[in-house]
C-alpha cells in the first residue's frame, strides 16, 4: 500500500504534534500524515509523573489537540503504527505493516526511549521502565495502599515518581549509585537538602547503592544490590535515563551522533528531512555548542519551527528552551546549561528552598535555576545571552 503526502511526520509526541501547528501557519492545504508508535494521540508527558497522581489533572486533560483539531487541520493520524525504515533517496518512509508513505518533507520526531539496565533480570516483563501513558496505566493498576515499590534511579523521573507514589500511600525505596538525588543537576548541598525532605516524608533513600540483578517470584520482586544485599518489593520501576530513538536516521545514513544532527533550521544532512525534540542534536547558539535537550519546551518550540520551515519559512532556531520539575514543595524552572559539573553560585532567600542558582563556566553564566522563584525565566535568558564576566557577589540579588 502506498500513499503520497506533502508532509510526513514520524513520531506522535509533543514535537510531532507541534509541527502540525507550524505547517498550518504557512500552508493550509498540503496533505499531512502523522505516524505514532503509541496507540494514543499525542499527549504531554510531564503530568505522567506529577499531576495525574495528585488529582490535579485527569488523563483526558493531557492530550495535545482534540480529535477535531486533527480533523480541522486535515491530518491523517496513523496511531499504533511504527515507522521502521526510511529511503531518503526515494523519499519514502515505511511502517512495520509494510505501508509506504511518500513525502516531500519529512520530520523525524521520534523522541527517546528508556535506557535498559544491563543486569540479569532487567528484561523481566513487569519491570516498569517508565515513559508512556501505557506505563502510567500499568503502574496505576499495580498501586494499592501499603504496596512497596523500589525505584532504581535518582534522577528527575525516579525522584518525581518516588514523591507522587509516596503521596499515594506506597512505601517507596529509592536505589541509585550516586551520592545524592538529582546529582547531575543539583549542587551537593541542595541535593542533600532535597533528599532529606524525601527521607522526612518516609521515603527510604539508598544512595551509593548499585543494583546487580532483578528476580521475580510470583508477584514479588527481589533486587540484589552490591552494597546492601537483597531488597524485596511489589512494584519495580526503573528511571535510568533515556537514549534517542534515532534508528530511522541511522538506517538512512543521515548524520547522527548523540541523536540526529540538524542545522540551525532543523534540517538533517538531507535537506528535505527535518528533526526536532528529544531526538535532535542542534547547534545551541547561546551555548556555542551542539546539544540534545530532553525537555518539554524544547520539543514544543522545535517541533513548531521545524513545521514552519518544512512549509517554506526560513527560520533559525535561536530560542533558549526552559524546563521545570516539582519534587514535593521544591519546584523550579531552569534555562541554559544546568550541570553540577559547572561552578555553581547560589543566591538563597531561604537556604536550599527559595532562591537562584547560577551555573558558571569561566566566570560567565551558562545556566540559571530558579528555585521556587517564578516568572523570571526571561531575566535568566537575558543574563545568559549577555555573556558578561560575573562574580559571586555581583550575582547576589540579580534575579529575585
Ligand atoms: C514521565 C516524564 C515526565 C517528564 N517531565 C518533564 C518536566 O517536568 N519538564 C520538562 O521540561 N520535561 C519533562 N519531560 C520530558 C518531555 O516530556 C520530553 O522532552 C518530550 O516529551 C519530548 O517530546 P518529543 O516529541 O521529542 O518525544 P517523545 O515525547 O518521546 O515522543 C516521541 C513519540 O514518537 C514515537 N515513536 C518513536 N519511534 C517511532 C517510530 N519509529 N515511528 C513512529 N513513532 C515513533 C514514540 O512512541 C513517542 O510517542 C518528562 C518526560 C517524562 C517521560
The mean per-residue pLDDT over the stretch 240-263 comes to: 98
Q: Is the CB of 246 under 6 A from ligand 1?
A: no
Model confidence pLDDT, tens digit, residues 141-164: 999 999 999 999 999 999 999 999
pTM above 0.85, yes or no: yes
Cα of 395 vs centre of ligand 1, distance in Å, is: 35
Beta-carbon contacts of 94 under 8 Å, excluding residues fewer than 6 positions away, are 83, 84, 85, 86, 87, 100, 101
Per-position b or e across 187-204, b if 16+ CB within 10 A of its CB: beebbbbbbebbeeeebb
- The Å distance, Cα 336 to ligand 1 centre, comes to 20
Does residue 242 register a pLDDT over 80?
Answer: yes
Q: Is the CB of residue 324 below 6 angstroms from any atom belonging to ligand 1? A: yes
Per-residue pLDDT band at 347 (split at 50, 70, 90): very high
Give the pLDDT mean for 86-103: 98
Residue 376 cell numbers, joined: 523570571
| Per-residue model confidence as pLDDT tens digits over 96-139 | 999 999 999 999 999 999 999 999 999 999 999 999 999 999 99
User: How many residues are there in the chain?
Assistant: 400
Q: Which atom of ligand 1 is nearest to the CA of 295?
A: 19
Mean pLDDT in residue range 198-221: 97
Give dist(CA 245, CA 201) in Å, integer.
Answer: 36
> Does position 218 have pLDDT exceeding 90, yes or no?
no
> What is the DSSP-derived secondary structure letter of residue 389?
B
pLDDT at 356: 98
Distance of CA 109 to the CA centre of its chain: 13
Query: Which 3-state string (H, E, C) describes 286-343?
Result: HHCEEEECCCHHHHHHHHHHHHHHHCCCCCCCCCCCEEEEEECCEEEEEEECCCCCCE
Query: 45 C-alpha vs ligand 1 centroid, how far in Å?
Result: 6
CB contact set of 28 (below 8 Å; sequence gap of 6+): none
Rounded to the nearest angstrom, the distance between the alpha carbon of 155 and the centre of ligand 1 is 16
Quick one: pLDDT at residue 125? 92
Checking DSSP bridges between strand 259-261 and strand 280-284, what pairing results, if any?
A: parallel
pLDDT at 2 over 80: no
Q: Confidence class of residue 1 from pLDDT cuts 50, 70 and 90? A: low
Cβ 222 vs Cβ 211: under 8 Å: no
CB-based contact 322:386 (threshold 8 Å) = no
Cell numbers found for residue 378: 526571561
Percent of the chain predicted with pLDDT > 70: 100
* Angle, helix 296-310 to helix 14-26, in steps of 10 degrees: 30
Domains and CATH numbers, the chain: 2-113+242-310 (3.50.50.60), 128-238 (3.50.50.60), 329-395 (3.30.390.30)
pLDDT tens, 364-396?
Answer: 999 999 999 999 999 999 999 999 999 999 999
* C-alpha separations of 127 from 38, 119, 189 in Å: 19, 13, 32
Q: What is the average pLDDT across 323-350?
A: 96
Q: What's the rounded mean pLDDT across residues 169-189?
A: 97
The residue whose CA is least distant from atom 41 of ligand 1 is 83
Going by C-alpha positions, the residue among 21, 207, 205, 19 that lies closest to residue 111 is: 19
Q: State the maximum Cα–Cα separation within the chain, in Å, rounded to a whole number.
A: 66
Q: Which is it for strands 2-4 and 100-102: parallel, antiparallel or unpaired?
A: parallel
Distance separating the N- and C-terminal Cα atoms of the chain = 59
pLDDT of residue 48: 98
Q: Which three cell numbers stand for residue 174?
A: 529509592
Q: Give pLDDT, residue 358.
A: 98
pLDDT above 90: percentage of residues in the chain: 99
Mean pLDDT for the stretch of residues 179-188: 97
The overall average pLDDT reported for the chain is 97
Amino acid at each position: 500500500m502506498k500513499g503520497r503526502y506533502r508532509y510526513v511526520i514520524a513520531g506522535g509526541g509533543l514535537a510531532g504534534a507541534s509541527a502540525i501547528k507550524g505547517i498550518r501557519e504557512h500552508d493550509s492545504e498540503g496533505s499531512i500524515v502523522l505516524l505514532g508508535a503509541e496507540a494514543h494521540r499525542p499527549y504531554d508527558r510531564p503530568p505522567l509523573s506529577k499531576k495525574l497522581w495528585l488529582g490535579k489533572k485527569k488523563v483526558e486533560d493531557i492530550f495535545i489537540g482534540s480529535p477535531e483539531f486533527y480533523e480541522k487541520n486535515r491530518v491523517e493520524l496513523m496511531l499504533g503504527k511504527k515507522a521502521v525504515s526510511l529511503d531518503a533517496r526515494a523519499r519514502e518512509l515505511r511502517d512495520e505493516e509494510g505501508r509506504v508513505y511518500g513525502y516531500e518533507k519529512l520530520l523525524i520526531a521520534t523522541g527517546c526511549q528508556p535506557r535498559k539496565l544491563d543486569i540479569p533480570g532487567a528484561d523481566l516483563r513487569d519491570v516498569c521502565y517508565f515513559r508512556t501513558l501505557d506505563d502510567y496505566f500499568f503502574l496505576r493498576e499495580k498501586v494499592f495502599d501499603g504496596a512497596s515499590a523500589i525505584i532504581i534511579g535518582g534522577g528527575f523521573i525516579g525522584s518525581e515518581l518516588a514523591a507522587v507514589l509516596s503521596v499515594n500511600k506506597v512505601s517507596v525505596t529509592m536505589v541509585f549509585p550516586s551520592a545524592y538525588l538529582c546529582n547531575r543537576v543539583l549542587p551537593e548541598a541542595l541535593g542533600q537538602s532535597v533528599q532529606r525532605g524525601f527521607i522526612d516524608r518516609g521515603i527510604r533513600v539508598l544512595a551509593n547503592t548499585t543494583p546487580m540483578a532483578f528476580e521475580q517470584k510470583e508477584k514479588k520482586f527481589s533486587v540484589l544490590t552490591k552494597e546492601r544485599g537483597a531488597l524485596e518489593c511489589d512494584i519495580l520501576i526503573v528511571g535510568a535515563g533515556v537514549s534517542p530513538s534515532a534508528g530511522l536516521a541511522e538506517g538512512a545514513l543521515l548524520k547522527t551522533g548523540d541523536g540526529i544532527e540538524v542545522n540551525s533550521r532543523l534540517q538533517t544532512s538531507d535537506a528535505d528531512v527535518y528533526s526536532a525534540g528529544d531526538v535532535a542534536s542542534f547547534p545551541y547558539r547561546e551555548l556555542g555548542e551542539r546539544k540534545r535537550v530532553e525537555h518539554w519546551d524544547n520539543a514544543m518550540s522545535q517541533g513548531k519551527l521545524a513545521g514552519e520551515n518544512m512549509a517554506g519559512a526560513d527560520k533559525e532556531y535561536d530560542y533558549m528552551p526552559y524546563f521545570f520539575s516539582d519534587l514535593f514543595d521544591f519546584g523550579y524552572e531552569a534555562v541554559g546549561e544546568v550541570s553540577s559539573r559547572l561552578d555553581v553560585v547560589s543566591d538563597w532567600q531561604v537556604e536550599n528552598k527559595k532562591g537562584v542558582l547560577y551555573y558558571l563556566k569561566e566566570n560567565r553564566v551558562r545556566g540559571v535555576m530558579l528555585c521556587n522563584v517564578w516568572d523570571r525565566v526571561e531575566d535568566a535568558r537575558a543574563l545568559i545571552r549577555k555573556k558578561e564576566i560575573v562574580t559571586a557577589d555581583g550575582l547576589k540579588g540579580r534575579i529575585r
